[in-house]
């Protein structure tokens, strides 16, 4: 009798750090593990932050980012990549060159352009470089302000407006877009994946809004979950269905972690720990 051996997808996160473990690479690795993936990490920025905010950012030389990327791909067959914070133009170009050389089969980009408060996080040159990276990836996961920037449109105030912006971005960049309604008002949170083919007939998932301040790192965690699930599922829609259910549970069970005095992290392992 042959014993079945589970082969986890090997998922690389390229992102900044969070010393308190709720966002960035630390959150990505937890999310990857929660979805039965083997997580790897390349650091694009060292961030001194906690649940109350960011204090300082140190960006290593792009040559060191390239060395990290090459050290992984020279040795490991990568099944999926999640890209988070790329702080400057050199970083974006370095990652773009590496993607061109390695051609990972699944690439998810969380385009860190605008904070949820509306502050622009990149210089104009770096923002343009990041936009140039988008057509080379498979899925992007912008927040509401970032989707508005990419669509060159005002901030969406409704789910209908957000869908229109998602269609515009999917067609403009020829990429699948995870449209996330978490920052819109209302008691129900809608999410869907729009791609250039199914732009006008997306499958929309909904969940009740959970009133909590413990949402630190939700964007990082969701994009890492999508990258990990895609090699294991038939498409982006089935990956989103599972990732959204998991994230909803992780947010609902976050209070029990009691991490920090600000916006606490989600509970990535609520189901594993049996507290869901």
**Active site residues per annotation:** 180, 215, 217-220
Collapsed DSSP state (helix, strand, coil) of residue 13: strand
Give strand pairing partners of 13: 41, 82
The span from the CA of 82 to the CA of 225, in Å, is: 9
Q: Where are the alpha helices (DSSP H) in 35-175?
A: 62-73, 89-102, 124-133, 144-151, 159-173
Q: In sequence order, which ranges of the chain are alpha helices (DSSP H)?
A: 24-34, 62-73, 89-102, 124-133, 144-151, 159-173, 218-229, 236-252
Q: Write the CA distances from 258 to 15, 27, 50, 218, 246, integer angstroms.
A: 25, 16, 13, 16, 20
Q: Which single residue is written with the structure tokens 């989103």? A: 240
How far is residue 77's CA from residue 4's CA, in Å, rounded to a whole number?
21
Positive or negative torsion for Cα 57, 224, 35, 107:
negative
φ, ψ at 272 (rounded to 5°)? -65, -40
User: Helices (H) and strands (E) in the chain — how many of each?
Assistant: 8, 9
| Cα(130)–Cα(147) distance, integer angstroms | 13
């Amino acid at each position: 009798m042959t014993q079945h051996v589970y082969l986890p997808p090997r998922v690389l996160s390229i992102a900044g750090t969070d010393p308190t473990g709720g966002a960035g690479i630390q959150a990505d690795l937890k999310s990857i593990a929660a979805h039965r993936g083997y997580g790897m990490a390349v650091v694009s920025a060292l961030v001194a932050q906690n649940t109350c905010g960011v204090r300082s950012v140190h960006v290593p030389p792009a040559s060191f980012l390239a060395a990290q990327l090459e050290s992984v791909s020279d040795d490991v067959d990568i099944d999926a990549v999640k890209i988070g914070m790329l702080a400057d133009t050199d970083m974006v170009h370095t990652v773009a060159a590496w993607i061109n050389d390695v051609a990972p089969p699944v690439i998810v980009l969380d385009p860190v352009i605008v904070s949820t408060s509306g502050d622009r996080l990149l210089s104009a040159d770096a923002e343009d470089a990041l936009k140039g990276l988008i057509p080379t990836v498979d899925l992007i996961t912008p927040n509401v302000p970032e989707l508005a920037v990419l669509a060159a449109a005002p901030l969406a105030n409704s789910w209908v407006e957000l869908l229109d912006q998602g269609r515009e971005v999917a067609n403009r960049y020829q990429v699948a877009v995870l449209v996330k309604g978490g920052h819109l008002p209302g008691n129900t949170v809608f999410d869907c994946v729009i791609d250039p083919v199914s732009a006008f007939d997306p499958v929309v998932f909904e969940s009740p809004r959970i009133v909590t301040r413990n949402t630190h790192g939700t964007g990082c965690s969701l994009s890492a979950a999508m990258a990990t699930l895609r090699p294991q599922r038939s498409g982006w829609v089935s990956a989103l269905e599972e990732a959204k259910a998991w994230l909803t549970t992780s947010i609902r069970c976050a209070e029990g972690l009691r991490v920090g005095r600000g916006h606490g992290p989600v509970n990535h392992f609520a189901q594993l720990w049996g507290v869901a």
